[in-house]
Chain A
Amino acid sequence: MPAMEQGTDKNHGRHRARQTWLRRPGISRIKHALRCLSVLPGLLLAHPSTGLAATLPDDLTNMGLEALMNIEVTSVAKKPQKKSEAAAAVFVITNKDLRRWGVTNIPDALRRVPGLQVARIDANKWAITSRGFNSRFANKLLVLIDGRTVYTPLFAGVYWDANLVMLEDVEQIEIIRGPGGTLWGANAVNGVINIITKSAGNTQGTLVSAAAGNELERLVNVRHGGTTGSGSHYRVYAISRADDSGFADPGAHDDADIAQAGFRTDWSKGDTDSHTLQGDYYRGTAGQELLIAPSAPATITDDADTEGGNLLYRWTHRSGNRSDLTLQAYVDYVSRESAVLYEDRYTLDLELQHHFTWNDRHDVVWGLNYRSIDDDTKSTQIFSLAPADRRVDLVTGFIQDEISLFSEHAKLTLGTKLEHNDFTGFEVQPNIRLAWLTDSGNTVWGAVSRAVRTPARGEHDVSLTVLPPPSPPGLPPLTINGNSGYDTEKLVAWEIGLRRALADSVTLDATAFYNRYDKLRTIEITSMPPGPFTAVFDNNMEGNTQGLEIDVHWQARPWLSVNANYTRLEIDLDLVNGSMDTTSLSAEHASPEHQANLWIAADLDNDIHLDAALRYVDSLQNPGFTKTGDYLAFDARIAWMAAPGIELSLVGQNLFDSHHPEFNPDFIISTPTEVERSIHGTVVWTFR
């Protein structure tokens, strides 16, 4: 959503500081190596920064103002301190991070984010959530790609296999933990992931990237960007990707193949109006081995066929530095056909957003959003929806005011969202946030928010036959039915956070939260054998989660950075209203209690980069096939700029173990597969 794009400008702080020393007119590597050797005696002393810093080319200083005004700069960090001032738990993954971490998809990139839980179910299915309640259909997280919502309203989860992004063209990924309630859509209960691609003007020229390895069978990205006149740029791209199956005994059938192509054009008239038109189309298949009634315990080998496309237009009108108006419209088509489910879905989304400053003290954003989702489904033996075709409308309005107090030392944010959905009517989601900024640049913040998760279509309309619980033995498959009285899940979240410099080169970002949930989803048995064995969705669980997320960044040397983060999460749930649910409480153990990441990024030379990362994930006790114990993963990447515009890299993931399980599926049971040790090599070639 544009609110965040507009926020984009503001959220670069974390990484901008590194940028000044990154650019240097190249000196020959040999000379450099010699100089390196000559400083050997002065080990680990700070290196004189003069040689490292970006300089000012003469042709820039001699340029007139008109010419300077036409130069495009690479940074969009207009308000660099903004991220550190935000009264929310924000983490930003930059384009450079994506490259240096050696990741090839969004789920792997999210593994290093504090406060998130990322687990792979099989080679094309993931369970990803923020602050608990993980599942393949994790429903308390909102994911946006360039302002387009990509969760599926059927179960409110995300099909991660079908939403490819060409990572080379990603500007950044912003992750906001906690209720993004005020500005964001229906699912932003525990977090928002906002994937923002570069504007077409920043992806000029041609890029070809080809990767292959033992697990990543093939990933070819091709992009070409050009211009069609002053202030108007375009790019077209295509992705072809194939993943090998994960590890399972006796064998797995979860390999996947997908192709995607798309474009983006950006054009502007003067300083005031900018336009974006972009679209994508994909087709893929994702293998799975289903363990479903009535054939279970025999498995069915199946391929889910996926297809989708979207077209988005955005117009932003700016009035000077203090007001902007954004209109956005998109259409989105998604189709998924498997042995479980046939679904075609069409979404129309219209959005208006206005941002302005008033009286120097108030920074106001308000907006209106209308979304219409129309689906056609076909029943299978285990899955049906009644009605089979349905249109769901969602109307949302929001307003937020950020008020500067105490001569800009404090920022008080008041906001609320008002939403109307077809299932539960009006929902109000207010929040209040306060940030205190000290003179030395430290920030202390706190927030109290209310958020709701509106029912997914499935919770109202589904009839899903799942395998019986293991005990008592001998039960027939269970049919879970939707409930037209299913209510919204409700959350009140309390958060506090601190951002500060511990030393010149060390920054700390810590957040603690306490979430109180009410009316969480349960499954209630309605009739037992010998009659039909049926159950219904209800709202009979409540509970709380609490946690701590600490992220430390240390720029140890201009060429060496060290990052570490730690995530602690405790979930405590209770059944109420005499609920006899036997499965929903397992959410207490579906997310790790402890997670930790440690990684370094080292520029060994002008042209050689080394990255290494350790990740610890605590054990889960989510019911299912395999025991998901704790694990320690080690990833590494080495890259060499072989020639101008040509980068060769070698990435190893999970180098410590041959394979480990990460998650068991729920609701729709497919054989989970384990994540294997993988190695892939990549060549990236860019030219004008």
Chain B
Amino acid sequence: MTASLHPPAKRARLSALAVLLVWFLSCPAVATAEEVITEYQVKAAFLYNFSHFVSWPASPENTFRLCVIGENPFGQILDALIGKPVNNSILVVEQHSSLEKIHDCQLVYISYSLKPRLNMILAELADHPILTVSDIESFTDAGGMIELWLSDNKVRFEINTSAAEHAGLSISSKLLSLATRVKKGQ
């Protein structure tokens, strides 16, 4: 008797286990909901702020394109900025993998992953009215406009004004006063 009952019972247990396993495996979960502010949340807020302290040449479009090239360290964070107002325009976020499409952007964030190609990218963007921002070290020395970095876990930035002027952008004195370093002239 017991012997004949065993296999189905065992099978039932196994399938219960399998269902449980499948449920576990299919369950998208996340870690503890501790309220911490991550580096790229703050950096995203910086990007949004920068757009208010820089003036671009007049554009026929009423969209402000914030573009990320290279590996996107922000994840979905930037999505929260979509639709926010920037100087009479509406902000949109775009992720690009090729350089050709970024000429219409107003602000380009160059990911750290593109460090090996930085000089080429900056040369490509040099004559366009595009604000370039990155965390690549010595970004401003290489001709980038705003370099973000961390000091004691706080976000700091440096500005290369000549690169911005060359591109036809003007950066407000308020922003310059908050920069850790302002690089003028090449």
Q: Are B42 and A321 interface neighbours, CB within 8 A?
A: no
B151 proximal to A (CB < 8 A): yes
Pick from B29, B45, B81, B174: contact of A559, CB below 8 A.
Answer: B29
Q: Are A65 and B80 interface neighbours, CB within 8 A?
A: no
Alpha-carbon gap, A274 to B42, bound state (A): 22
A30 proximal to B (CB < 8 A): no
Q: Which one of B54-62, B102-110, B163-171, B175-183 is at the interface?
A: B175-183
Output the least CB separation between B63 and chain A (Å).
Answer: 18
**Contacts A68-B155, A360-B142, A409-B116 known; A22 to B31 CB distance under 8 Å?**
yes
Q: Which one of B9-17, B71-79, B124-132 is at the interface?
A: B71-79
Alpha-carbon gap, A605 to B31, bound state (A): 8
B36 proximal to A (CB < 8 A): yes
Residues in chain A near residue B77, CB distance under 8 A: 20, 53-56
Residue tally, chain B, CB below 8 Å to A: 65
Q: Which one of A78-86, A189-197, A508-516, A590-598 is at the interface?
A: A78-86
Of B115, B175, B181, most A-chain CB atoms within 10 Å: B115
Question: What's the A-B contact tally at a CB cutoff of 8 Å?
Answer: 227
Output the least CB separation between A18 and chain B (Å).
Answer: 9
Alpha-carbon gap, A612 to B53, bound state (A): 51
**Contacts A74-B37, A78-B150, A357-B137 known; A560 to B45 CB distance under 8 Å?**
no
Residues in chain B near residue A39, CB distance under 8 A: 26, 28
Of A24, A64, A71, A76, most B-chain CB atoms within 10 Å: A71
Scoring A residues 428 to 457 as 1 if CB is less than 8 Å from chain B, else 0, what string do you get?
000000000111010000000000000000
Q: Are A603 and B120 interface neighbours, CB within 8 A?
A: no
Output the least CB separation between B22 and chain A (Å).
Answer: 6
A420 proximal to B (CB < 8 A): no
**Contacts A50-B76, A66-B178, A77-B39 known; A71 to B155 CB distance under 8 Å?**
yes
Q: Which of B's residues lie within 8 Å of A, judged by CB?
A: 22-34, 36-42, 44-46, 48-49, 53, 71, 73-81, 84, 112-113, 115-120, 135, 137-138, 141-142, 147, 149-156, 158, 174-175, 178, 180-181
Q: What are 20 residue pairs bridging A and B, where the CB atoms are less than 8 Å apart in the complex?
A: A21-B30, A23-B30, A23-B33, A23-B34, A24-B33, A39-B26, A53-B77, A54-B38, A54-B77, A57-B41, A60-B45, A61-B44, A68-B42, A71-B154, A74-B39, A81-B115, A321-B138, A322-B138, A407-B116, A604-B27
Q: Which of A's residues lie within 8 Å of B, judged by CB?
A: 9, 16, 19-26, 32-33, 36-37, 39-40, 42-44, 47, 49-58, 60-61, 63-66, 68-81, 199, 201-202, 231, 266, 268, 271, 274, 318, 320-322, 357, 360, 407-409, 437-439, 441, 557-560, 602-610, 641, 644, 647
Besides the known contacts A20-B77, A44-B26, 15 further A-B residue pairs in the complex with CB atoms under 8 A apart? A20-B38, A23-B36, A24-B33, A36-B26, A43-B26, A61-B48, A63-B45, A65-B53, A68-B46, A75-B38, A231-B152, A320-B158, A360-B141, A441-B71, A606-B32
